Structure 1
Amino acid sequence: MIPVRGFDGAVVAVLGLGRSGLTAARALTAGGAQVIGWDDGETGRAKAEAEGIVLRDLTREGAFEGVACLVTSPGIAHLYPAPHPAIAAALAAGVPVDNDIGLFFRSFATEDWDRFDVTPKVVAVTGSNGKSTTSALIHHILAEAGREAQLAGNIGRGVLDIDPAGDGGVVVLELSSYQTDLARALTPDVAVFTNLSPDHLDRHGGYGGYFAAKRRLFAEGGPDRAVIGVDEPEGLYLAGQMSEGPGDDRVIRVSSGQKLTGAGWTVFARKGFLAEWRKGRQVGAIDLREIAGLPGAHNHQNACAAYAACRTLGLGPKEIERAFRSFAGLPHRSQRIAEKGGVVYVNDSKATNVDSASKALAAFRGIRWICGGLEKEGGLEGLRAGLANVVKAYVIGREAEGFAMRLGPGVEAEVCHTMEQAVARAVAEAQPGETVLLAPAAASFDQYDSFERRGEDFAARVTAALG
């Protein structure tokens, strides 16, 4: 655990008593704070009381008298579409509002570091798609190279639940826009921006607000190195803001699909080959085509970002390549779960938006596509490029008919509603050389409580169908 510094003897309120909230409460207590908590749900309040946390309804008048800070969970709205009443009350009372990420960055460094030969580092990864895979891949590479590494944040352990860093240790954080938007302290040594596509727009007041939340990690974080995907205008803009000139190698530009030129430091993938260029010459290359855990151009972008981050930490191209080859990938992200009769079955339940689903469709040929769910803003227009690889779509979800209709006349679509029916139909009709792919292009909450549960259901149905 990372004891939270700076609140010894102070009263700190914690709003939202789920995983991150309870961990924050424990870490605050370990640092000497007096913690009070509140959760809108009875279950959260009961768990907190069982741990001895004093409850106080933070929505009541006068609740913030004597409170030094409010720590809120990332899922609770603090500005758009409207702030939670407790957050609004804290702000009105002049009480600072923070989250566990901010607490981590203010508390991670300790006096023990003065005795270390190598100062610990934090690598923070954000972006719309690929940040989980990129974070896990960086962690895997470091572990394979024998470096002390911990994975936390939006993946793995809660950020305050990790162990204090050892000599030369590295913490890899996956950070969502909800986390970067509110954190009062953001000081990574290496910051990674994968890409940007529309998501969570209601929480950020639109696309500009969403980008601004991601940008805070760089503009306010001031990392020593910035690894930035430049395949969208926002990434290109961010790289320009962080750089002092064309040859500034504090910024590493990353791309999947285009060759990057110039005097700076670049890492890009084209036609399955990763190339690293620095000061106008190539200094590294990896053939990604046969690396099973990183299929498709979107994973090649993740590989480029992870490669660049690890190069900033002193790892060589060959040891990074060896780690690539042993990377198994993450559950629910282009996860190959079965192969039978020449048909491959792939679980990409994490493809919850149009952009990530489109990239999954581009990674395979002859696709029997299971899609549908709670559709997000922006419609399905962004799927057009990948639909050429689809043999047939099997649509699930409460609004399956409407989703199927919006795919357009060029796509054969069967309305199945349930995962059970969709898998049964796809398995029955799939031919050798084809891929049965779950890449929903929609959220899961109309039928499942998480994308993980949806992916697990898909895997279980496939296993049962294949016998």
Structure 2
Amino acid sequence: MIPVRGYDGAIVAVLGMGLSGRAAAQALQAGGAHVVVWDDGQAGRDLAQTAGYALRDLTKAVSYDGVAALIVSPGIAHLYPAPHPAIAAAWAAGVPVDNDIGLFFRSFATDDWDGFETTPRVVAVTGSNGKSTTSALIHHILAESGRPAQLAGNIGRGVLDIAPARDGEVVVLELSSYQTDLARALTPDVAVLTNLSPDHLDRHAGHGGYFAAKRRLFAEGGPDRAVIGVDENEGRYLANQLAQGVGDDRVVLVSSGQKLTEAAWSVFARKGFLSEYRHGRQVGSIDLRAIAGLPGAHNHQNACAAYAVCRTLGLGPRAIEAAMQSYPGLPHRSQLVADRGGVRFVNDSKATNVDSAAKALQAFARIRWICGGLQKEGGLDGLLPHLAQVAKAYVIGREAADFARQLPGVPTEVCTTMARAVALAAAEAEPGDVVLLAPAAASFDQYDNFEQRGADFITCVGAAVAGQSD
């Protein structure tokens, strides 16, 4: 745990008793703060009381008497589409609003570091797609190379729940737009933007607000190194804003598909090969095609970003390549579930938006595509250029029929349930086919989260494969 500094003896309020809220409350208490909490749900309030925290209805203005700060969990809207009543009440009372990311950056460095031989570093990864894989891959490479490292943030472990830094340690944080948007302190040593595509637009009042939330990691943070995906205009704009000129190698450009040989420092992948260039000269390369844990161009972009980060941290190309070979991949992200009779079953339940699903579709030659769910803003037009590889779509979700109608020229089957979709796809698949779950939609119409949807896919694949063996 990282004890929060700066609030010893002060009253600090925590809104939301989810994973990050609980970790924040514990870390504040460890740092000497008097913690009061509130949760909109009765279950959260019961959990807080069981843990011994004082409950205080933070939606009421009087609740902020004597409160030094309000710490907000990332799932709670703080501005758009409307501020949570507790946040509005804190504003009215003049109480600073922060989140666990802000607390982490103000508390991570301690006087103990004066005795370290090598100062700990923080790598922060954000973007629309691939940030989990990029973060996990960086952590894996560091660990395989013998560097002490911890992984936290949006990937599942609260940032304040990690252990205090060791000598020379690297902390890798995956940060969502919700987290970067509100944090009052953002000071990573290395900051990464993987890519940008429309997502969470209601929380940011549109695409511009969404980009602005991501951009804060670089504009507010002032990282020593910035690794920027430049396959979209926003990335190109950000890289241009950060670099002082064509020779500025503090900004590393990353691409999947573009050849970037003129930049001061670039890492790009083309036709399955990663190349590193510095000042117009190639200094490293990796054949990514045989790395099972990183299939497809979208994962090659993730590999480029992770490679660039590890190079800025002093690792050599061959050490990075060796570690990539053993990378197992993340659950629900291009996860190979089964390979039976020449048919592969791949779980990409994390492909919750059109852009991430399009990237998944480009990774395989012939696809039995399981898709559908709670559609996001913008429709499915972004998928249309990438449907040539789809032999058939098996559509799930409450809006399955409407989803299917938006896939012109693709044979579709309205299945509604995962069990029927997997069973039918497995029965109709031919050797060489990939049965791919890449929903291009949120899961909340049928599941609590994308993990639960992916787990259901895995269960259904197991049943289908077992049935074929009988």
TM-score, structure 2 length as denominator?
0.99
Distance in 2, matches of 1:258 and 1:58, equals 50
Could you tell me which amino acid in structure 2 is paired with residue 235 of structure 1?
Answer: G
2:74 is matched with which residue?
A: 74
Instruction: Give me the whole-angstrom Cα distance separating, in 2, the residues matched to 1:337 and 1:278.
Output: 39
Corresponding residue of 2:412: 413
Q: Partner residue of 1:301?
A: 301
Give CA-to-partner distance per residue, 1:213-238, whole Å, 9 cap, x none.
Answer: 00000000000000000000000000
- Which deviates further from its counterpart, 72-81 or 259-268? 259-268
Distance 1:156 1:263 in 2: 35
Per-residue CA shift, 1:121-162, capped at 9, x if unaligned?
000000000000000000000000000000000014210000
Quick check: 2:21–2:72 contact (8 Å CA) kept in 1?
yes
Q: What is the CA-CA distance between 1:261 and the residue it aligns to? A: 2.4
**Given the alignment of the two structures, is residue 348 of structure 1 paired with residue 344 of structure 2, yes or no?**
no
Instruction: Quote the Cα distance in structure 1 between the aligned partners of 2:283 and 2:339.
Output: 38
Show the counterpart of 1:264. Answer: 264
1:353 deviates by 0.2
Secondary structure, in 3 states, of the residue corresponding to 1:62? helix
Q: Which amino acid aligns with 1:313?
A: L
Residue 134 of structure 2: aligned partner: 134
**Structure 2 counterparts to residues 357-368 of structure 1, below 5 A:** 357-368=357-368
Task: Give the conservation status (yes or no) of the 8 Å contact 2:61–2:90.
Answer: no
Equivalence for 1:432: 431
Report what 1:373 is aligned to.
373
Q: Does 1:284 align with 2:279?
A: no
Instruction: State the match for 2:174 in structure 1.
Output: 174
Matched, 1:316 2:349: no
Provide the secondary structure at the position in 1 that maps to 2:159.
coil
CA distance in 1, matches of 2:245, 2:61: 53
Q: Which amino acid aligns with 2:465?
A: L
User: In 2, Cα distance between the equivalents of 1:65 and 1:167?
Assistant: 41
Alignment-derived partner of residue 423 in structure 1? 422
1:60 Cα offset (Å): 1.8
Residue identity in the other structure for 2:424: R
Aligned to 2:335: 335
Residue 194 of structure 1: CA displacement?
Answer: 0.1
- Aligned pairs for 1:120-131 (under 5 A) are 120-131=120-131
State the Cα distance separating 1:61 from its structure 2 match. 3.3
Distance 2:447 2:156 in 1: 21
Q: State the distance in 2 between where 1:412 and 1:176 align.
A: 36
Q: Distance in 2 between matches of 1:433 and 1:167?
A: 49
| Structure 1 CA distance for aligned equivalents of residues 125 and 299 of structure 2 | 15
Which letter does structure 2 place at the counterpart of 1:207? H
Which letter does structure 2 place at the counterpart of 1:343?
V
Which residue identity lines up with residue 461 of structure 2 in the other structure?
V
Q: Which runs of 4+ in 1 moved over 2 A?
A: none
Q: Which residue of 2 aligns with 1:212?
A: 212
Paired residue secondary structure (2:146): coil
Look up the SS of the partner of 1:424 in the other structure.
helix
One-letter amino acid of the structure 1 residue matched with residue 121 of structure 2: K
The equivalences for 1:26-65 within 5 A come to 26-65=26-65
Residue 4 of structure 2 aligns to a residue in which SS? coil
> Could you tell me whether the CA contact under 8 Å between 2:253 and 2:263 is conserved in 1?
no
Secondary structure class of the residue paired with 1:160:
helix
Aligned twin of 2:450 = 451
Equivalent position amino acid for 1:465 in 2: A
Q: Distance in 1 between matches of 2:271 and 2:245?
A: 29
Q: Equivalent residue for 1:5?
A: 5
**How big is each residue's C-alpha offset from its partner over 1:187-222, in whole Å with a ceiling of 9 and x where there is no partner?**
000000000000000000100000000000000000
Distance 1:37 1:347 in 2: 38
Q: Distance in 1 between matches of 2:86 and 2:360?
A: 40
**Amino-acid identity (%):** 77
1:110 alignment partner AA: T
Alpha-carbon spacing, 1:148–1:259, altered in 2? closer, same or farther (3 Å): same
Contact 2:61 2:93 in 1 (8 A): no
Q: For 1:391 and 1:404, how far apart are their aligned partners in 2?
A: 14
The letter for the 1-side match of 2:349 is S
| Structure 2 partner of 1:17 | 17
Distance 2:158 2:144 in 1: 22
SS at match of 2:302: helix
For residues 98 and 276 of structure 1, the distance between their equivalents in structure 2, rounded to whole angstroms, comes to: 38
Q: Which amino acid aligns with 1:192?
A: V
Cα deviation code 1:12-44 (max 9, x no counterpart)? 000001111111000000000010000010111
Pairwise CA distance, 1:386 = 1.5
Q: Report deviation, 1:263.
A: 4.4
| Partner SS for 1:461 | helix
Deviations 1:92-128 (A, max 9, x none): 1110000000000000000000000000000000000
The separation in 1 between residues aligned to 2:214 and 2:114, in whole angstroms, is 32
2:150 is aligned with 1:150: yes
Matched residue type, 2:406: R
Q: Sort the Cα spacing of 1:373 and 1:263 in 2 relative to 1 into closer, same or farther, 3 A.
A: closer
What SS class does the counterpart of residue 113 from structure 2 fall into?
Answer: helix
Distance 1:438 1:263 in 2: 37
* 1:413-443 deviations in Å (ceiling 9; x for gaps): 0000000000010011000111000000000
2:93 aligned partner: 93
Cα distance per residue 1:316-371 (max 9 Å; x no partner): 00000001100010000000010111101000000000000000000001100000
Structure 1 residue aligned with 2:385? 385
Instruction: Measure the CA separation in 1 of the matches of 2:58 and 2:358.
Output: 43
CA–CA separation in structure 1 for the residues paired with 2:167 and 2:19? 28
| RMSD over aligned Cα atoms | 0.5
User: Does the CA contact (< 8 Å) of 2:61 and 2:92 recur in 1?
Assistant: no
**2:304 and 2:456 mapped to 1: Cα distance?**
31
The answer to whether structure 1 residue 466 and structure 2 residue 448 are counterparts is no
Cα separation, 2, equivalents of 1:404 and 1:461: 21
SS for the counterpart of 1:300 is helix
Counterpart of 1:68 in 2: which secondary structure? Answer: strand
CA distance in 1, matches of 2:281, 2:426: 49
Alpha-carbon deviation of 1:465? 0.9
